[in-house]
Amino acid sequence: MKSILLVDDDETTNLVNSFFIRQLDSSLKVNNVNNGKEAIAFLEKASPSEDLPCLLLLDVNMSVMNGWEFLDVYTEKFGGRFEKDVVIVVLTSMDIDDNAMAMTHPSVAEMIQKPLSDIKFRALVTKHFFSD
């Protein structure tokens, strides 16, 4: 793992998540953006060898462009180009509709209930990056 992109319009959530991610692995580069539109712009400019995140943590409820709108644009714009490189995990409060949408979207690897914790993050990293 080299870098993570946090996509959430709550600055406090981004700050807390960045802090504990860096506590777990100080070598990780943590970038954050405030909405799906900024995430698309970040990915368009990302260099695969340096800035492309291996993990994208996506909030659902955001202004400007929410998580579902982001996923639609992401799929349209990038298709399967980042499929093997970027693991997308939806972070949201537990909502039955969100859960159903997340689990059926082809770009979403997993859905985790907010708040993200160090235990949840460790399990996520182990599952997607260190499992056999």
Strands, E, within 18-67: which ranges? 29-33, 55-59
How does pLDDT run across 27-52, given as a tens digit for each residue?
889 999 999 999 999 999 987 777 78
pTM for this entry? 0.90
What rounded mean pLDDT belongs to the chain? Answer: 86
User: Picking from 64-78, 80-94, 109-123, which range would have the lowest pLDDT averaged per residue?
Assistant: 80-94
3-129: CATH class: alpha beta
pLDDT attached to residue 54:
92
Q: 31 phi and psi, to 5 degrees?
A: -105, 150
pLDDT attached to residue 132:
56
User: Model confidence at 105, in pLDDT bands (50, 70, 90)?
Assistant: confident
Q: Where are the domains of the chain?
A: 3-129
